[in-house]
Structure formats: C-alpha cells, structure tokens
Amino acid sequence: MHASPRFVSERIDPEPGTFDPAAMARGEPGVPASFQWRGQRYRVARTIATRRQTGEDRGDTYLRRHYYDIETSDALRMTLYFERNPSDRSKAKGWWLYTLTLPDPVIETERLALRRWTYADRDAFARMVADPDVMAHLHDFEPMSDAEADVALSSTIKRYERGYGDWAIVDPKTGDILGESGLTLLDDDEVEIGWMLLPPYWGQGYASELASAVKRHAFESLRMPRLVAFVRPDNDRSSRVALKIGMRLVDRFVNYDGDEMLKYEIVNPEL
C-alpha cells in the first residue's frame, strides 16, 4: 500500500529569513526552509522537484505559479506553490500547501498498517495520550496535557533516526488512527515492544495482530536478538497479548516510582 496525496490548498506562513537565497538570485521565490501550517512548524529536509505553471493574458504568456515537491523533516511529502500572479487580481502573492502525502506503511497486516507519526498527526496523537482509559496502564499512568503531548510527539519522531520506533496504527480504508505500536530502545539497551489502542478498538484482536507483526519485523528485518514488554499486574489485556505472541513472564518487580510491574521476554529463535 502506498499513501496517496491529499488535496489541501491552504495558505502557509514561511518563517522570515529562511528563503533560499540562491533561488531568489535566479528570480525564483526560493522555497522556505521552514514554515507554519495550522499552528505547527514544519522544516523542509529536501526539495525533490520543481516546476512552473504559466498562463496567458491577451496573447501574452506569463509565469503564474512556482511548484515545489518537498519532503519535511518528519517524512511528510508536500507540494508547495508560490502564487506569483494570482488569477484573482484582488489576492496577494503568497505561499500555499497544495497537497500532502503521509508516509508509506512500515508494516502491514491483514487489517491494519503501521506508519511513522508526523506533525500532521498532532491532533490525533494528543487525543490518544489524553484518553484516561488508554493511559491507565502506560507511562505515568495519567493522561497527558497538550504541552506534554507535543513533547512526546516530537521525541517519538526524533527516535525514528534509529531506524525504528513507535508507529501510528492506521485503518487503510479510512485513514483513521487507532492507536500506536512499535519498538522502544531502553536505557539498558533492551528493546521494548509495546501496543496501545483507543477504547473503541478494544476486543477485536487488533493488539495481538499488530504485536505479532512488530515482533516479526524486529526479528526478521531488524535482526534484534530479544524483545521485552513491561505490564502492570492488573492489565490483563496486555498480559494476554504478550503471552499470545510467544512471550514468557520472566520477572515481577517494583519500579523506581514504586509501581509493581511484570516483565515479559521473547528471544529471536533465529539468532
């Protein structure tokens, strides 16, 4: 499955002083290095292609738009354009986001897909980590504020530099985000496998389907030797998922915050 472009056609706000001076010296607008869209900052990682659109007026040909196909630092593909000569003379020149393409899936299962989180998912991510039922057994066991969610999303995106991380669970048919599943490198160099779903999607076998696919990706594609999972004793759902994907209970301990935890483990049989 490959992601398809979504038509946006909304104005963006380039950050002052970030324009490409070399392009501007050639008489082009110079794609900005960063810009704001819907209250979120995006940074241009690379320009993939450029093109121009011309128009005609009373037999004269004129340059109407400069298009830029770009990739942002969070792996979004966007088409931006600079409206040099708006068809409506009352409109000012300016920058627009024309289309947006989300990252292709990293993992696909029979019903779902896992892909990178992006800053375009900010609202969906914030809703997920603010849900008290989702967070009852995770992290600090409390919902996150909007500010905490922004920090967590930024950290999640940065961790993809390792080649893996926590991915958004997506329904390929609707594009809806159902939760998150993936891999986290811990301070002691262990890799934790995790999963969480929004309450409407509980009880449908999604967690074990995804956890099994993530485990397979970790062992077969990333060649990881071992995975661990940490579960609160009262989280029967997650314990069942851990056992279903072949993990075994190896420890029961009290963490630094004084919370009792269960530790599950599975070893790569091919290594």
Question: Tell me, what's the pLDDT at 63?
Answer: 80
User: Is residue 270 within 8 Å of 224, Cβ to Cβ?
Assistant: no
SS (H, E, C) the chain: CCCCCEEEEEECEECCCCCCHHHHHCCCCCCCCEEEECCEEEEEEEEEEEEEEEEEECCEEEEEEEEEEEEECCCCEEEEEEECCCCCCCCCCEEEEEEEECCCCCEECCCCEEECCCHHHHHHHHHHHCCHHHHCCCCCCCCCCHHHHHHHHHHHHHHHHHCCCEEEEECCCCCCEEEEEEEEECCCCCEEEEEEECHHHCCCCHHHHHHHHHHHHHHHHCCCCEEEEEECCCCHHHHHHHHHCCCEEEEEEECCCCCEEEEEEEECCCC
pLDDT digits (tens), the chain, 271 positions: 678 899 999 999 999 999 988 888 788 899 999 999 999 999 999 999 999 988 766 656 678 899 999 999 999 999 999 988 766 665 678 999 999 999 999 999 999 999 999 999 999 999 999 999 999 888 777 899 999 999 999 999 999 999 999 999 999 999 999 999 999 999 889 999 999 999 999 999 999 999 999 999 999 999 999 999 999 999 999 999 999 999 999 999 998 888 899 999 999 999 8
Quote the pLDDT of residue 55: 75
Q: Which residue has the tokens 């997920």?
A: 128
- Strands 260-267 and 248-254 come out as antiparallel
Strand 34-37 to strand 40-57: parallel, antiparallel, or no bridges (unpaired)? antiparallel
Give the model's pLDDT for residue 265.
98
The pLDDT value given to residue 72: 98
**Non-local CB neighbours of 203 within 8 Å, separated by 6+ positions:** none
- Which is nearest to 141 in space by CA: 52, 234, 58? 234
Cβ atoms within 10 Å of 97's Cβ, excluding its own: 19
pTM of the model: 0.91
pLDDT at residue 193, rounded to an integer:
98
Q: Which domains does the chain have, with CATH numbers?
A: 6-101 (no CATH), 107-267 (3.40.630.30)
Q: What is the pLDDT of residue 257?
A: 82
Question: Would you state the pLDDT for residue 61?
Answer: 65
